[in-house]
Amino acid sequence: MQQELRLRSLEKDDLEFLHKLYNDPNVMDYWFAESHYSYQLIKNQFENNLESTEHREFILCSNEERIGFVGIFSISQRHRNAEFAIMIDPNHQGNGYAITATRLAMDYAFNVLNLHKLFLYTDKINEKAIHIYEKAGFRFEGELPEHAFVNGRYHDLITMSVFQRDYRQRF
């Protein structure tokens, strides 16, 4: 049985956990980024984003245990849209946490930030992620051929999105 999950704001005490995720190639390959982040770089990014209105960063928790990281990035006040991204600690993958975390992020994006649209990018071959996003209500928008360079080759990405009106009808 899945424990109750919640999102809470990213705090300075979470940076070691984030450092661990950011240095795991199995996690970062899906973020289309290198897996070589120093703790100092992560700390600097955290401090630079403290007063940002363009980002919301959360830790996914079960009780006080850290399960993953959720981000709502590039928030546009004018266009009322933002990018969604998620990382689940490999020790907690396969437990259904990603779908719950995605829905919690959607709830925040549409009911707190009053966004019109939430979008994401994922690797075209990442069938697990695509299934999770579709289950949460995201729909395919388009394909970006050879858009990300990871592990020595280019990957095709797809964009997916969900609109506030569709979220409200569904949930």
* pLDDT digits (tens), the chain, 171 positions: 456 899 999 999 999 999 999 888 777 666 666 667 788 988 888 888 888 889 999 999 998 899 999 999 999 999 999 999 999 999 999 999 999 999 999 999 999 999 999 999 999 999 999 999 999 999 999 999 999 988 889 999 999 999 999 999 988
Q: Which of the residues are catalytic?
A: 133
For CA atoms 159, 34, 108, 67, the dihedral sign is positive
Our measurement of the distance from residue 161's CA atom to the centroid of its chain's CA atoms, rounded to an integer in Å, reads: 13
Q: Alpha carbon of 105 to those of 57, 62, 84, 85, 148: distances in Å?
A: 10, 15, 8, 9, 25
Contact 72, 84 (CB under 8 A): yes
CA distance 68 to 104: 13
**E strands of the chain, at which residues?**
5-9, 56-62, 65-76, 81-88, 117-123, 139-150, 153-163
Q: Please give the domain boundaries of the chain with CATH numbers for all domains.
A: 5-170 (3.40.630.30)
The four Cα atoms 23, 43, 120, 81 give a dihedral, to 10 degrees, of: 180
Closest alpha carbon to 133 in 95, 80, 72, 84: 84
Reference 171, options 113, 102, 96; nearest CA is 102
Instruction: Answer whether 157's CB lies under 8 Å from 167's CB.
Output: no
- 3-state SS, residue 67: strand
Q: State pTM to two decimals.
A: 0.91
